[in-house]
């Protein structure tokens, strides 16, 4: 629904990560897959999920007699362990074991280190393309005789920041995740309840806004985004202020919000 | 989504009829069931569907470790035959075999005949409650000696109209349904395509607006409602006018529309 609402390009979506099989976290998926099919998608789609999603999808395809135009590659997540589940040239994805009523994992997305950027104003006559490519990797260019021909720092700027983002939903308060997410740019952490319903959070294996903020503070993240608010709350300002009293740089997860990270 | 949007009372929904297992006709159901569960529903819910829906739901409940607060009673629809699948004091529901890529049935809802209405202004001193109850059933009240004590038509008005409604989606043009839906008040019939895409309708086992109107005309229904329009059409006025040229009393199925039937 939101992909349509915000007119995001479906065809760029090649990897989907599902934290757990509670209905509010995956029931929209089959409709999305059928929409991709109707839009004549042909490129592979990778699904990462706990055990069961493949079985559910296969049954839905069977009873609708559907053969999708594209291949779905299912990746089984093993619960209760941190694991690198995806890596390409620019990003890695690790699972974050969470504590919930059923097997549930968060995901840690990290951009890899980026190349140094050539400071174009300082390029000189006679530099070769292979010199420039080497400079981007951070090395100095040596002459055949062993002298420094071009000193890297004279011609390059530091790489752009490599962003990191953790998605932690749904989970009880869990200090075990802190070292894995330490220092990341953005932590999404569920905050189903207000502090007054702390006992309810414990029982249902959810977190309060205060607990989410305590995790963000202990992990020294840059920004905390809280979400997954219980429908019982008619406003979210209380959740925000409870979190901000512990961790000031907290924002609310509002669908469609675009967040500029100041890192 | 639409039940929420139009604030309809979930708890009054006790019977759900699913025509077939293409995603656009049932994927929202599991979310609805979980919402009912969260709203503490306890009364039984009856589901009528082709084979497979029970299996899909059981798998979704298994992997979410959910035990609903209410009982779901699954009724298997046998395709390719007309059958009375529900009856209570006021209504009957029959299946309407349709022609589609997978097993698909429409549903015919008929209100039963209603009692005659007492014309209160004409009641007389000395009439007993049991006389009034009998008059509603349409009989005359006789005296012990065998004379007519109260003539029914002197004290009652005709019953209110018993409405009938057929839901026919999705289906290729099928004259076989005509005698089953003859003379009903409201026919919902799919009209996926315009006349220009007649061949496409044939191939995908859908109907054109013109075909829906031809069925309505042949079955002499009161009102035709067309819907299930292909997303390729940016406006629906052409579909409406194509149908109205064959069957003037046609309306568009627009979500949230309230239709007053003039019967």
Mind listing the pLDDT tens digit for each residue in A87-116? 999 999 999 999 999 999 999 999 999 999
What are the b/e assignments for B190-216, b being 16+ CB within 10 Å? bbbbbeebeeebeebbbbbbbbbbbbb
Beta strands, E only, A82-239: 84-87, 91-97, 105-111, 117-118, 141-142, 148-150, 156-157, 164-168, 186-190, 223-227
d(CA A239, CA A227): 9
Residue-wise pLDDT for B37-46, tens only, equals: 999 999 999 9
Q: In chain A, count H helices and then E strands.
A: 9, 14
Which of A60, A105, A113 is CA-nearest to residue A84? A105
Q: Which pLDDT score is estimated for B80?
A: 87
CA separation for the pair A110, A92 (Å, rounded): 5
The predicted-structure confidence for A57-85, as pLDDT tens digits, reads as follows: 999 999 999 999 999 999 999 988 999 99
Does the pLDDT of residue B161 top 90, yes or no? yes
Residue with the two structure tokens 């300002």: A237
> In this predicted structure, what is the pLDDT of residue A126?
83
Residue A88 shares a structural domain with residue A34: no
pLDDT at A262: 79
Crossing angle for the helix pair A237-244 and A209-218, nearest 10 degrees? 30
A55–B56 C-beta distance less than 8 A? no
**Cβ neighbours for B9, distance < 8 A, ≥ 6 positions apart:** none
Q: How many domains does chain A have?
A: 3
Write the pLDDT tens digit of every residue in B40-84.
Answer: 999 999 999 999 999 999 999 999 999 999 999 999 999 889 999
Pair B102, B195 in one domain: yes
Cα–Cα nearest to B4, from A4, A18, A1 = A1
A24, A44, A80, A119: which one is catalytic? A24
What pLDDT is attached to residue B28?
94
Same domain, residue pair B104 and B127: no
Identify any residues that bridge with B252 across adjacent strands, giving them in sequence order: B226
A58 touches chain B (CB under 8 A): no
Phi, psi of B93 (to 5 degrees): -130, 125
Residue of B27, B66, B102 with shortest CB distance to A31 = B27
Alpha-helix residue ranges (DSSP H) falling in A64-185? 129-136, 152-155
Same domain, B122 and B100: no
Cβ-based neighbours of A69, under 8 Å, separated by 6 or more: A37, A40, A41, A42
Residue A72 has which token pair? 């779905």
Do B96 and B165 lie in one domain? The reply is yes
Q: What is the block-wise mean pLDDT of chain A (263 residues), using blocks of 10 residues?
A: 90 95 95 93 97 97 94 94 96 98 97 93 87 90 90 93 96 97 98 97 97 98 97 96 98 93 81
Under DSSP, is residue B37 helix (H, G, I), strand (E, B) or coil? helix
What phi and psi, each to the nearest 5 degrees, are found at residue A204?
A: -95, 5
Enumerate residues 6+ apart whose C-beta is below 8 A from B92. Answer: B84, B86, B109, B110, B112
**Nearest chain B CA: its distance from A59 CA (Å):** 7
Which pLDDT does position B79 carry in this prediction? 83
Beta carbons of A102 and B63 less than 8 Å apart: yes
A21 touches B63 (CB < 8 A): yes
Q: What angle do CA B257, B260, B263 make, to 5 degrees?
A: 145
Contact B102 A64 (CB under 8 A): yes
Q: A214-223, A232-241, B85-94, B144-153 — which is least confidently predicted?
A: B144-153
Report whether the peptide linkage leading into residue A109 is cis, meaning its omega lies within 30 degrees of zero.
no
Residues of B in contact with A52 (CB under 8 A): 59, 62-63
Q: What does DSSP assign to residue A13?
A: -
* Residue A79 pLDDT: 83
Task: Write the residue in A51, A53, A65 that is nearest to B102 by C-beta.
Answer: A65
My answer on whether B2 and B68 are in the same domain is yes
Give the end of a domain, one of B157, B182, B215: B157
pLDDT band (50, 70, 90) for residue B125: confident
Does residue A49 belong to the interface with chain B, where contact is any CB pair within 8 Å? no
Residue B103 pLDDT: 95
Q: What mean pLDDT value characterizes chain B?
A: 95
Q: pLDDT tens for residues B185-221?
A: 999 999 999 999 999 999 999 999 999 999 999 999 9
Which long-range CB contacts under 8 A does B107-110 form with residues at least 24 apart? B107/B17, B107/B19, B107/B48, B107/B166, B107/B167, B108/B164, B108/B165, B108/B166, B108/B167, B108/B180, B108/B181, B108/B184, B109/B164, B109/B165, B109/B166, B109/B167, B110/B162, B110/B163, B110/B164, B110/B184
- CA-based Rg of chain A, rounded to a whole angstrom? 23
Distance, CA of B226 to CA of B188 (rounded, Å): 6
Q: State the pairing for strand pair B72-76/B91-97.
A: unpaired
**B62, closest residue in chain A (CA to CA):** A52
| Shared domain check, B135 and B204 | no
* Full domain range(s) for residue A15: 1-76
A88 and A185 in a single domain? The answer is yes
Confidence (pLDDT) at A124: 85
pLDDT exceeds 90 at position B123: no
User: Does B60 contact A65 at a Cβ distance shorter than 8 Å?
Assistant: no
- Rounded CA-CA distance A252/A243 in Å is 10
The residues of B annotated with a catalytic role in the active site are 24
- Helix, strand or coil, per DSSP, at residue A242: helix
Which chain B residues are closer than 8 Å to A23 by Cβ? 30-31, 34, 60, 64, 66
Tell me the C-alpha distance between A3 and A8, whole Å.
5
Give the separation between CA B45 and CA B16, rounded to whole angstroms: 8
Beta carbons within 8 Å of A11's beta carbon, 6+ residues apart:
A36, A39, A41, A43
3-class SS of residue B114: coil
Task: Say yes or no: B62 contacts chain A, CB-CB below 8 A.
Answer: yes
Average pLDDT over residues B17-42: 95
For B52, which DSSP code?
T
Instruction: Point out the residue among B23, B34, B55 whose CB comes nearest to the CB of A30.
Output: B23
Question: B62 and A51 in contact by Cβ < 8 A?
Answer: no
Same-domain status, B121 and B174: no
Binning pLDDT at 50, 70 and 90, where does residue B14 land?
Answer: very high
Give the three-state DSSP class for A153: helix
Q: In this structure, are A168 and A229 located in the same domain?
A: yes
Residues B126 and B188 grouped into a single domain: no
Work out the minimum CA distance from A101 to partner chain B, whole angstroms: 8
Instruction: Give yes or no: residues A127 and A141 share one domain.
Output: yes
Element (H, E) at B82: none
């Amino acid at each position: 629904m939101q992909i349509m609402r915000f007119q995001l390009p479906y065809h760029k979506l090649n990897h989907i990560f599902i934290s757990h099989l509670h209905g509010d976290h995956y029931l929209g998926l089959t409709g999305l897959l059928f929409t991709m099919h109707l839009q004549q998608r042909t490129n592979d789609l990778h699904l990462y999920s706990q055990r069961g999603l493949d079985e559910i999808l296969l049954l839905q395809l069977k009873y609708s007699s559907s053969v999708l135009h594209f291949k779905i590659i299912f990746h089984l997540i093993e619960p209760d362990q941190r694991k690198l589940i995806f890596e390409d040239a620019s990003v890695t994805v690790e699972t974050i074991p969470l504590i919930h009523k059923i097997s549930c994992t968060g995901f840690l997305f990290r951009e890899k280190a980026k190349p140094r950027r050539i400071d174009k104003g300082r390029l000189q006559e006679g530099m070769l393309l292979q010199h420039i490519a080497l400079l981007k990797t951070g090395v100095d260019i040596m002459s055949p005789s062993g002298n420094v021909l071009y000193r890297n720092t004279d011609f390059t700027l530091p790489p752009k920041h490599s962003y990191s983002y953790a998605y932690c939903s749904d989970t009880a308060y869990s200090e075990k995740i802190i070292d894995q997410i330490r220092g990341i740019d953005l932590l999404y952490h569920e905050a189903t309840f207000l502090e007054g319903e702390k006992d309810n959070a414990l029982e249902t294996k959810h977190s309060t806004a205060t607990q989410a903020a305590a995790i963000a503070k202990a992990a020294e993240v840059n920004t905390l985004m809280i979400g997954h608010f219980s429908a019982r709350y008619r406003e979210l300002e209380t959740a925000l202020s409870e979190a901000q009293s512990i961790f000031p740089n907290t924002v609310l997860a509002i669908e469609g919000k675009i967040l500029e990270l100041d890192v």
